[in-house]
């Protein structure tokens, strides 16, 4: 895996926001309004079922569709895609391509689309349309809010020049191929203003032997490299075996094979240290596979087959999902890849899972959590399609860690009990420590415990710490505890406690957000919005689960607490959105404080929630009742990250507490816009 370390002005990762569009029926302003409006206006055919305490609202649970039912919904969406495009305000050159449909028990449809512009694929143009049982559009969730209008569709840069740039980028990462596998014209809309571009894909091998599938995006007008990402998604390794397990195999005559026809026809192959093709299907005269050690090649095959089996069952029984693509078709697994290859990876192009044998071919990386982690990359690819760079890449990796952890707990295997440690049984570091810790990610020396402005610049395995930590806190809560014999002690960024809601609920919330709320460009602010929407639909906006999602995100420095800051303080809030004009005049939002005595404190907390596609453009000031300005954030041309989700501490002791306080925000550079969503003052 490679991180995108170059984050210049043209290659920052975009934000994902949830926009609630006005329909002929009602304007929707949030998940609470979404649920209430559906009841009050008759958008739904009946009032949604009231969730029982501690249980998900059955009206908002996804139905299990048969392949024919799913195909019919996709056909219906495809037939109506032109009308849908017009109804949500797309331009005449834009067309929708149906990708997937999720149907809730109350009839709500979540239809995922790709987009084209003038016949060209739009990268970063994906979106989800939520529609009621009556066919009324309720919500549109876009990967980008930028208007698609590309004036020039004739490249100034040749296809050959773009290919050469892509090949150079691949060689810088250890690639050896002298030509690209493919070059195509696209519209690049994932960052800032949409432009005509080339997408070049280079295959071959990376410097460590991992297959290469480098995607390089080149501006077709200037030749500038806009973005690159690695299509092969590799993950953790784990050399621990799962002990004696039951495997579903196939039998014909006197021959058994590692073929699981009860799980979509999953097959397990032996590459015998090759690095291409499928190798040979594991087959033998006995139905006992391996001997628990590397002396028998079938041992790794048995572990891989078991991992695929448990991952399939986890998704089936936890989310009613039938396979990675939810179409009942099994992937396949390959073991004994390469020589001394210390990794494992999922590859969409072959729809397969591949495992190396570890250093000296002594420890095949075929454990249960490896299977759960890597195959979950396939689920992400077939749902939200989270980009594998920036904050979206961190969410992508965290999703695999979260679901891999879910698989490990689900399997209830005595040889590998469920835990919140990633790769705890492998010894890559030589000291027996895990690769990652979900309760306190920074314990690995690299991962982030909480969000900060540069977290998207980290390798995706380390930026994933923010989401991993959130999920642990949401599941188990903060503080010291022992789970399955493992000791944890999870801190919070604001020093306030979090009460967990249990792993089962946390998984349901994460999965629903992944499959119905997120797009390719979702970042941590968008992940918070999506998980809150999911929690509201499943458990209600006044539920403990909904409040816990708020608190767990606040505990990793994304957004504010459910109680407006907590800690016994008093908060005053203005959540009326204010648009921030591009390179324009400052805008202000006011909060009036009354009923307090004396002056403001020396540690006044100012919470700011702004969505913006280039945070460095913004200058933010707090204006006290006396008119004095307190600078919260300066302009920075190098800060290309998205959004401001910060709590600032201001010494406001010279100000009277009562009076009108203002937040002043100004965008001081061209190209990017945003919205002040919410801000609050907290008096400790």
Q: How far apart are CA 159 and CA 169, in angstroms?
A: 16
Residue written as token pair 């920036």: 390
Asked about 408 being catalytic, the answer comes back as no
Kindly give, in sequence order, each residue whose CB lies less than 8 Å from that of residue 611, ignoring residues fewer than 6 positions away: 15, 17, 525, 642, 643, 674, 675, 677
Kindly give, in sequence order, each residue whose CB lies less than 8 Å from that of residue 154, ignoring residues fewer than 6 positions away: none
Asked about 374 being catalytic, the answer comes back as yes
Which of the following is catalytic: 374, 391, 537, 646? 374
* Cα R_g (the chain), whole angstroms: 25
Angle (nearest 5°) at CA 613 between 608 and 616: 70
- As beta bridge partners, residue 605 has 649, 682
Question: Which run of H or of E encompasses 36?
Answer: helix 31-41
What is the DSSP-derived secondary structure letter of residue 444? G
Q: How far apart are CA 317 and CA 315, in angstroms?
A: 6
Kindly give, in sequence order, each residue whose CB lies less than 8 Å from that of residue 135, ignoring residues fewer than 6 positions away: none
Q: How far apart are CA 345 and CA 216, in angstroms?
A: 20
Asked whether the beta carbons of 496 and 567 are under 8 A apart, the reply is yes
Cα separations (Å) of 388 from 10, 232, 516, 656? 17, 9, 19, 48
Asked whether the beta carbons of 103 and 63 are under 8 A apart, the reply is yes
Which of the following is catalytic: 12, 215, 461, 469? 461
Question: Which run of H or of E encompasses 391?
Answer: helix 390-411
SS3 151: coil
Q: How far apart are CA 281 and CA 353, in angstroms?
A: 14
User: Sign of the C-alpha dihedral, residues 213, 219, 223, 225?
Assistant: negative
SS3 644: strand
Cα separations (Å) of 353 from 84, 185, 305, 329? 37, 30, 10, 14
SS3 610: strand
For residue 55, how far is the Cα from the chain centroid?
A: 25
The tokens describing 304, both together, are 């891989």
Cα separations (Å) of 530 from 19, 141, 202, 297, 371? 11, 10, 34, 44, 26
Asked whether the beta carbons of 683 and 601 are under 8 A apart, the reply is yes
Asked whether the beta carbons of 220 and 156 are under 8 A apart, the reply is yes
Asked whether the beta carbons of 543 and 640 are under 8 A apart, the reply is no
Asked whether the beta carbons of 617 and 668 are under 8 A apart, the reply is yes
Q: How far apart are CA 368 and CA 311, in angstroms?
A: 8
| Closest-CA residue to 674 (of 573, 590, 574, 583) | 583
The tokens describing 310, both together, are 């448990």
Active site residues: 374, 461
């Amino acid at each position: 895996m490679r991180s995108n370390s170059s984050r210049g002005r043209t290659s920052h990762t975009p934000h994902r926001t949830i926009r609630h569009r006005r329909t002929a029926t009602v304007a929707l302003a949030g998940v609470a309004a979404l649920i209430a409006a559906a009841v009050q206006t008759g958008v739904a055919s009946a009032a949604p079922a009231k969730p029982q305490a501690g249980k998900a609202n059955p009206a908002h649970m996804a139905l299990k569709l048969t392949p024919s039912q799913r195909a019919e919904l996709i056909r219906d969406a495809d037939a109506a895609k032109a009308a849908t495009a017009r109804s949500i305000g797309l331009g005449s050159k834009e067309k929708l391509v149906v990708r997937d449909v999720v149907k809730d028990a109350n009839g709500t449809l979540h239809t995922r689309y790709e987009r084209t512009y003038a016949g060209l694929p739009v990268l970063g143009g994906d979106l989800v349309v939520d529609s009621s049982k009556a066919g009324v559009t309720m919500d549109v969730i876009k990967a980008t809010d930028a208007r698609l209008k590309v004036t020039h569709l004739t490249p100034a840069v040749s296809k050959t020049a773009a290919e050469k740039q892509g090949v150079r980028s691949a060689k810088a990462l250890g690639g050896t191929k002298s030509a690209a596998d493919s070059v195509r014209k696209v519209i690049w809309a994932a960052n800032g203003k949409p432009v005509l571009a080339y997408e070049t894909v280079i295959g071959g091998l990376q410097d460590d032997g991992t297959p290469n599938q480098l995607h390089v995006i080149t501006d077709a007008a200037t030749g500038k490299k806009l973005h690159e990402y690695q299509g092969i998604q590799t993950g953790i390794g784990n050399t621990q075996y799962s002990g004696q397990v039951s495997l579903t195999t196939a039998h014909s005559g006197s021959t058994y094979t590692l073929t699981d026809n009860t799980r979509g026809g999953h097959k397990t192959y032996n590459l015998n240290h090759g690095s291409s093709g499928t190798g040979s299907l594991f087959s033998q005269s006995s139905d006992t596979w391996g001997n628990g050690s590397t002396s028998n090649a079938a041992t790794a095959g048995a572990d891989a087959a078991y991992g695929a089996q448990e991952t399939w069952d986890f998704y089936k029984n936890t989310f009613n999902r039938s396979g990675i693509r939810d179409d009942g078709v099994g992937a396949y697994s390959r073991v004994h890849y390469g020589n001394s290859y210390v990794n494992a990876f999922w590859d969409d192009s072959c729809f397969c899972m591949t495992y190396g044998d570890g250093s000296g071919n002594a420890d095949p990386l075929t454990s249960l959590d490896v299977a759960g982690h890597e195959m979950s990359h396939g689920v992400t690819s077939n749902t939200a399609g989270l980009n594998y760079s920036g904050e979206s890449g961190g969410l992508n990796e965290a999703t695999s860690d979260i679901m891999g952890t879910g698989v490990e707990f689900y399997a209830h295997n005595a040889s590998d009990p469920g835990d919140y440690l990633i790769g705890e049984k492998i010894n890559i570091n030589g000291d027996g420590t895990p690769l990652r810790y979900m309760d306190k990610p920074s314990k690995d020396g690299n991962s982030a415990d909480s969000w900060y402005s540069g977290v998207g610049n980290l390798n995706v395995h380390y930026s994933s710490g923010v989401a991993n930590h959130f999920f642990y806190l949401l599941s188990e809560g903060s503080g010291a505890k022992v789970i399955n014999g493992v000791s944890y002690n999870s801190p919070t960024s604001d020093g306030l406690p979090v009460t967990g809601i249990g792993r089962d609920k946390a998984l349901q919330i994460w999965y629903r957000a992944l499959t119905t709320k997120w797009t390719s460009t979702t970042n941590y602010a968008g992940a918070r919005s999506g998980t809150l929407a999911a929690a509201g639909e499943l458990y209600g906006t006044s539920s403990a689960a909904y409040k816990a999602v708020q608190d767990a995100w606040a505990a990793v420095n994304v957004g504010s607490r459910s109680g407006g800051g907590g800690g016994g303080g008093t908060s005053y809030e203005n959540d009326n959105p204010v648009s921030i004009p591009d390179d324009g005049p400052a805008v202000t939002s006011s909060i009036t404080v009354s009923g307090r005595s004396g002056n403001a404190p020396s540690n006044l907390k100012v919470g700011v929630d702004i969505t913006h596609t280039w945070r460095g453009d913004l200058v933010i000031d707090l204006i006290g009742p006396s008119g004095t300005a307190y600078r919260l954030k300066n302009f920075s041309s190098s800060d290309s990250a998205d959004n401001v989700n910060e709590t600032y501490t201001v010494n406001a002791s010279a100000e009277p507490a009562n009076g009108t306080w203002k937040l002043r925000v100004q965008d001081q550079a061209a190209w990017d816009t945003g919205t002040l969503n919410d801000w609050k003052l907290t008096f400790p």
